[in-house]
């Protein structure tokens, strides 16, 4: 059996679990072999890099806003940025805040860009949140998405990110520090879409989902730990956007963005995920 010697050791993040679900071979190459990526993701490369940079920059703007940096200062950063996407997203964010479509006002504590971990058997689960907001009767996860097409509610409800984020919040003990008699139903998660500011997806939590999450994560980790073959995905379309395709004899040239569906584009293996950068907690 191949020993797991990944960056995260026996730690599992939403990006590592999602990668395994998408393609077991990609998980092996990225998290076990720790190979760098020999192929660019999609053509044009510059467009791909631009989208990554814009997404990261937009998250930093919201982070600054949540830290209390004056809006005028953030507005000037937006004005000085040449990206029309950034300007549109920031306009949509402020509009959503001011119109209460995105209500961040009724929380006593806000924790932007917070990292939580949970022991899970012999493993550790890791979740990096865009925002956790707390009040006396609710603890609310917010996640900002810059997708160009809004996926449906069910897809987000079933996403491993949703399952892991809510479970780690429940199991980390973080909520108990703020909510007396904390109940799992006090947890809520909202995905807010910068291109669709009035179409947030809200997801609740509770005992049934908690039990299902433990079963699903346990099963997935058991499968990963028992895997010795790490087969390549049957979905050849996914390979078009994969940086490891030259290792798999599935092409050495860049794939074409136009060849990918929205879901495939959004779920590509990114250059890095922030939650992979933390190896020690
Ligand atoms: S090229 Fe295809 S089979 Fe190979 S790692 Fe990427 S997604 Fe998996």
Domain harbouring 228, CATH code:
3.90.320
Closest CA to 190 of 135, 142, 153: 142
Report the alpha-carbon distance of residue 157 to residue 159 in Å, rounded.
Answer: 6
Determine the distance from the C-alpha atom of residue 212 to the mean position of all C-alpha atoms in its chain, rounded to a whole number. 20
Q: What is the pTM of this model?
A: 0.85
Report the alpha-carbon distance of residue 13 to residue 55 in Å, rounded.
Answer: 20
Helix ranges restricted to H, the chain: 14-22, 24-27, 45-66, 71-80, 84-98, 153-158, 160-171, 207-226, 236-240, 262-266
* Cβ 39 under 6 angstroms from ligand 1: no
Whether residue 135 is contained in a domain is answered as: yes
Whether residue 4 is contained in a domain is answered as: no
Whether residue 251 is contained in a domain is answered as: yes
Q: 210: CA distance to ligand 1 center in Å?
A: 32
pLDDT in tens, 104-132: 999 999 999 999 999 999 999 999 999 99
The number of domains in the chain is: 1
Q: What is the pLDDT of residue 259?
A: 46
Whether residue 144 is contained in a domain is answered as: yes
* Cβ 128 under 6 angstroms from ligand 1: no
* Cβ 129 under 6 angstroms from ligand 1: no
Structural domain of residue 159, as residue ranges? 11-276
Tell me which of 30, 230, 242 to substitute to probe ligand 1's pocket, judged by most ligand atoms within 8 Å of the beta carbon: 242
Confidence of residue 18 (pLDDT cuts 50, 70, 90): very high
pLDDT at 164 over 90: yes
pLDDT in tens, 191-225: 999 999 999 999 999 999 999 999 999 999 999 99
Atom of ligand 1 at shortest range from CA of 238: 7
Q: 12: CA distance to ligand 1 center in Å?
A: 20
DSSP designation for 258: G
């Amino acid at each position: 059996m191949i020993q797991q010697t990944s960056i995260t050791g026996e730690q599992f993040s939403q990006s590592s679990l999602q990668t395994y679900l998408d393609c077991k071979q990609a998980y092996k190459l990225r998290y076990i072999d720790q190979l760098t990526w020999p192929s660019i993701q999609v053509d044009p490369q510059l467009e791909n890099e631009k989208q990554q940079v814009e997404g990261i920059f937009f998250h930093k703007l919201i982070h600054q806003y949540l830290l209390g940096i004056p809006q005028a200062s953030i507005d000037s950063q937006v004005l000085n940025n040449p990206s029309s996407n950034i300007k549109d997203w920031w306009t949509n964010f402020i509009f959503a805040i001011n119109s209460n479509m995105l209500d961040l006002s009724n929380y006593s504590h806000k924790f932007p860009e917070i990292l939580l971990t949970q022991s899970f058997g012999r493993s550790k689960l890791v979740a990096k949140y865009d925002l956790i907001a707390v009040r006396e009767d609710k603890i609310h996860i917010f996640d900002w998405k810059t997708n160009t097409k809004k996926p449906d509610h069910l897809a987000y409800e079933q996403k491993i990110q949703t399952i892991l984020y809510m479970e780690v919040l429940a199991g980390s003990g973080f909520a108990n520090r703020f909510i007396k008699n904390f109940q799992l139903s006090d947890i809520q998660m909202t995905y807010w879409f910068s291109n669709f500011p009035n179409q947030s997806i809200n997801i609740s939590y509770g005992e049934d989902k908690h039990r299902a999450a433990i079963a699903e994560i346990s099963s997935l980790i058991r499968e990963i730990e028992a895997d010795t073959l790490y087969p390549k995905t049957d979905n050849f379309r996914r390979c078009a956007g994969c940086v490891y395709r030259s290792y798999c004899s599935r092409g050495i040239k860049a794939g074409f963005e136009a060849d990918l569906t929205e879901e495939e584009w959004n779920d590509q293996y990114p250059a890095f995920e922030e939650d992979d950068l933390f190896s020690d907690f």
